[in-house]
Homo-oligomer: A and B are copies of this chain.
Amino acid sequence: MSEWTKYADQLTSQSRTASRALAIVDGAHKQKWLRRSAELLLTRADEIAVANAKDLEKAPEYGLNAAAIDRLKLNRSRLEVIAAALGDVASLPDPVGEIFDSNVRPNGLLVTRVRVPLGVVFFIYESRPNVTVDAASLCVKSGNAVILRGGKEALHSNIALHQVLRDALVDTGLPEHAVQLVQSTEREIVGELLKRGDRIDVTIPRGGKSLIERVSAEAKMPVIKHFDGICHVYVDKTADHAMALDILKNSKCQRPGVCNAAECLLVHADIAESFLPKAGAMLKDERVEIRGCDRTRRSVPWAKPATEQDYRTEYLDLIISVKVVDDVTAAINHIEEYGSHHTETIVTNDLSAAQRFTAEVDSAAVMVNASTRFNDGGEFGLGAEIGISTDKFHARGPCGLRELTSYKWVAHGNGQIRS
């Protein structure tokens, strides 16, 4: 038995035991843990800063650029934000035990469905250390034990943060292994853990495409995965142009590096000549490079020609592809062919176009007259999110506390037997 096999056995066996105990802990105890963790984060800010300094020192060796190094920093004000987020999670309704469905059968049997934790979550993420605390808080709040595996760039910071979370578990009488951190940055341990479909109920990778592809290929348990966001803004014939410009600008430019930012603009042919010059000017002002089809370039002469590949690209940058389409059907077909089923919006005043778009576009989120940037756990009212799913199974789109649960059927009778 290799070193990694043994370590994976130990981690998963401790998690399973913790998860069984945690599943029946009441909401008040979980709130106490969240609040105690927030308290300890601040009283131990200096200790965390010392650990963080070790990571910051090594950061250039790992090739982190200035922005990435900044995201790695854990000063007091950053810790205050993390602590406040713990308080927010404490305030959310406890999902465990919620009866979300019931019916009384003709024989008097009361059949209910009761929300229960999934069990053990394996959460794999990259550099930012605040994710350590965010993910642990959501998993434990939903009654799950969690095994955290952070990036090597943040190892010392993560160890310090995990120590705080673990001490808070002990202080508040919760199982100390409810939150475990993989204390190694070797690749092998991830492979070993991904084999444990018998002991881990779900794996959630958060990071680049290669991480998610590796996890999907190796995992012997369900994976909540998040692939590309090639999001579209479709401006229909009846769109209010000012509204369309606002939504386009917000969708493309507010934060171009994130998954729910727009990558492609589709414009109804009937308004191409009136709308596209305005859109082109706005995008130019925002320093967005335009790559358009022939019809686009007639209205926006400075647009570069778009290739087939452009329409399949998640730029995550100030670049947009543009295409003029004949009608809502052509827009829907383009999205089906080139999109990634993430987030699309239609700007329209035509009820039947809006109905067709929302019914026929097969994406995790479909908006009418709103920015694509709203596809987010916080914006949708989930309180907090552990990730976004681009799958259709179990959970789709933003995943909050409920998406970290399963259910059991509980039936109450008074002697019913089956005939």
Residues of B close to A366: CB separation below 8 A: 408-411
Cβ contact within 8 Å between B365 and A411: yes
Cα A232 to Cα B414 in complex, Å, equals 18
A299 within 8 A of B: no
What is the distance, in angstroms, from A342's C-beta to the closest C-beta of chain B?
A: 11
Interface string of A382-402 (1 = CB under 8 A from B): 000000000111101110000
Cβ contact within 8 Å between A111 and B381: yes
A105 within 8 A of B: yes
Cβ contact within 8 Å between A396 and B406: yes
Known: A364-B409, A409-B397. A416 touches B201 (CB 8 A): no
A179 within 8 A of B: no
Cβ contact within 8 Å between B381 and A413: no
Known: A116-B362, A373-B417, A416-B371. A409 touches B393 (CB 8 A): no
What is the distance, in angstroms, from A59's C-beta to the closest C-beta of chain B?
A: 31
A380 within 8 A of B: yes
A119 within 8 A of B: yes
- A 246-299 contacts with B by CB, 8 A: 246-247, 249-250, 254
Residues of B close to A408: CB separation below 8 A: 362-366, 396-397
Residue from A105, A111, A336, A409 with most neighbouring chain B CB atoms (10 Å) = A409
Cα A363 to Cα B406 in complex, Å, equals 11
The 6 A-B pairs of least Cβ separation, nearest first, read A370-B413, A250-B417, A392-B406, A394-B394, A365-B409, A373-B418
